[in-house]
Structure 1
Amino acid sequence: MPVASLSSLSLIVPTRRLDESLACRVQRTAERLGAGEILFVEPADDDSPASVPGLPSNARLLRARRGRGTQCNRGGYEASGAWLMFLHDDTQLPSDAPALLARAMADPALGMACFRLRFDRDHWLLRLYAFASRFESLLTTFGDQAMVIRRSVFHEIGGFPDWPLFEDVELARRLRRRSRIRKLPASVTTSARRYEANGLLRQQLANGWLLTRFLLGASPHRLAEIYERQAGATAAEPPR
C-alpha cells in the first residue's frame, strides 16, 4: 500500500490551559509527524493570555465553550488538513506513529484510525484495560487513543456531539455507520492520574457503570453531574 504525506494532517489539542511547556511538547510531536498545522483550543472562560510565548508559526490558539467535545469541534471545523488528529494534552504518541499513520491515511476506504492505549503507571488492572484497547468496539475505543479522522467524514457525521461526557463514544458510533475504524498496532501513553487520585479499582468500576448507563440511554449531561460529584472531575475531563 502507498503511504500518505502527513503534511495533510491537522493536530488539534483541546486543553484546559495552554502554556509554553505544552506548546513546545506538541510542537516536537508535530515536527516528528510532519503535521501541517496545530490548533490549540482553550475554554472561552479561561483568563489566560491570548498568546503564548514560543507558539510555533504553524500553530493557532482558539477558544470555545468549555468541554472537550465542544473544544474539539472548534478545532475540527477550523482545521484545513485532509485529516484531523484529536490529541489530548496528556497523551504521548509512540515512536513509530509517523509510519503507521502514513500507511493508514493512504487507505481510501478508511474513515478513522486510532492507537491502542498504555498508561504511565504499571499496574495489573491498567495493563488489562490497556490490553483490551487493541480491539475496536463501543467499549474499547475512546478519545484518549489519539483519534485520526478524515476531515470530510468528520463534517459528514456532524463532528462531536455537544455533550460534557462520552462525546468520543458517540462520535465513534456515528462514524461506524459511515466507515470503518482501524486500530493501529502501537500504543499511545496517557496519564493515570485520575486512577491514582480516586483508587484504581474504584475509578474503573465508576467508569464502567457510567458507560453502561450511557449505552442504556441515560443522559450524558446527567451522567457528567454524577461523575463530578463522585470523582471530583470536571466536565472537560471525562472518565476513562
Structure 2
Amino acid sequence: MISIIIPILNEAETIEDLLFHLIDHSSLMNISEIIVVDGGSTDGSQDVIKNLDLKIKIRSSPKGRAKQMNLGAKMATGDILYFLHADSFPPLHFDELIISEVKKGNNAGCFRLKFDSNHWWLRLASWLTQFSWRACRGGDQSQFITRALFDEIGGYDENYIIYEDNILINELYARKEFVVINKKIKTSARLYRKHGVWKLQYHFWTIYVKKWFGASADELLVYYKKYIC
C-alpha cells in the first residue's frame, strides 16, 4: 500500500485538481491514504480540501517542506511513501508503476519530468531526466521510497528549509537505491514564468554548486530568500 504525502503552502489554486487527478489516475486499492500537510497557508487551501468531501487527511505543520513531509510520514500507514509536490501530476497508473519497481527490489526512485512549458531549455531539461545522472534529479519528479529505507535514513533533514529533496536523494544515490521510472510526471513551470527561465536556472545552478562546495543549510536559505523567494 502507498501513502501519498503532499506538503502545501498556499496551494488553493492547484490542490483540488491534483487530488482528483490522483484518484482518477490510480487504483484506490493500492492507496493507503492521501495526507496533505499544510505549512501555514493563508489562502484557504485547507477549506478547499475539506469542501471536496474526499477522505483526505489534513494536518498542520511548522513551515518547511522537510518538517511537513516528515510529519506526513509519521502519520502514514503504507509501507511505501510517495512524496509529491502540489503542482506535479503523476502519470496514469502511477501506483502500479511504483509497486512494480518495489517488487523488483528498487526501494526508491522517481518519474521522468515534463514541464507545462514549450520553452526549449525546459524541454531539454525534461528530456535529460530520463537518465540516472544525479544532477538531473529534483523534488518536482516526486519521490517514492519504502518505509523501511526512509526510516533507515532518518527521513528528510529538517535543517534544510530548501534543498531538502536533494539531501535525501544524495543519501539514496550513496546507497545505490534509486531508479527512474520511464513515465512522465507533469509539473508546473510557474516559478520559471515568474522569474524568467535563464535567471531562475542560474540561481538553481548556483545553489547546487554552493552545496557542492560545502555551503551550509543556512547559507543556501539566505541565497534562496535573496534571489528567488
| TM-score normalised by the chain length of structure 1 | 0.85
Does residue 134 (structure 1) correspond to residue 127 (structure 2)? The answer is: no
Counterpart residue number, 1:64? 61
**Which residue of structure 2 lines up, in the alignment, with residue 103 of structure 1?**
100
CA contact (8 A) 2:11 2:43 kept: no
Q: CA deviation at 1:199?
A: 1.2
Q: Which residue of 2 aligns with 1:192?
A: 189
Change (3 A) 1:177 1:21: closer
8 Å contact from structure 1 (residues 115, 186) kept in 2: yes
The aligned counterpart of 1:54 is: 52
Answer yes or no: is 1:113 the counterpart of 2:109: yes
Q: Which amino acid aligns with 1:171?
A: L
Matched, 1:125 2:118: no
For 2:172 and 2:215, locate their aligned partners in 1 and report how far apart those are by CA, in whole Å: 21
In the TM superposition, 1:174-189 aligns within 5 A as: 174-189=171-186
- What runs of 5+ residues in structure 1 fail to find an aligned partner? 1-7, 234-240
What are the residue-to-residue correspondences of 1:203-222 with 2, within 5 Å?
203-222=200-219
Runs of 4+ in 1 over 4 A off after TM superposition: 18-21, 44-51
- The 2-side partners of 1:129 and 1:165 are apart by 21
Q: Which residue, 152, 155, 161 being the options, matches 2:151?
A: 155
How does 1:78-93 map onto structure 2 within 5 Å?
78-93=75-90
Residues 213/21 of structure 1: CA separation in 2 closer, same or farther (3 Å cut)? closer
Q: 1:138 to 1:216 in 2, by over 3 A?
A: farther
Equivalent position SS for 1:121: coil
> What value does the CA root-mean-square deviation take over the aligned residues?
2.1
Mean Cα deviation higher: 68-77 or 46-55: 46-55
1:203 corresponds to which letter in structure 2? L
Number of residue equivalences: 223
**Gaps spanning 5+ residues in structure 2: where?**
none
Q: Is the 8 A contact 1:85 1:146 kept in 2?
A: yes
Higher helix share: 2
Conserved? CA contact 2:37–2:69, under 8 Å: yes
Overall identity of the aligned pairs, in %: 27
Task: State the TM-score, normalizing by the size of structure 2.
Answer: 0.89
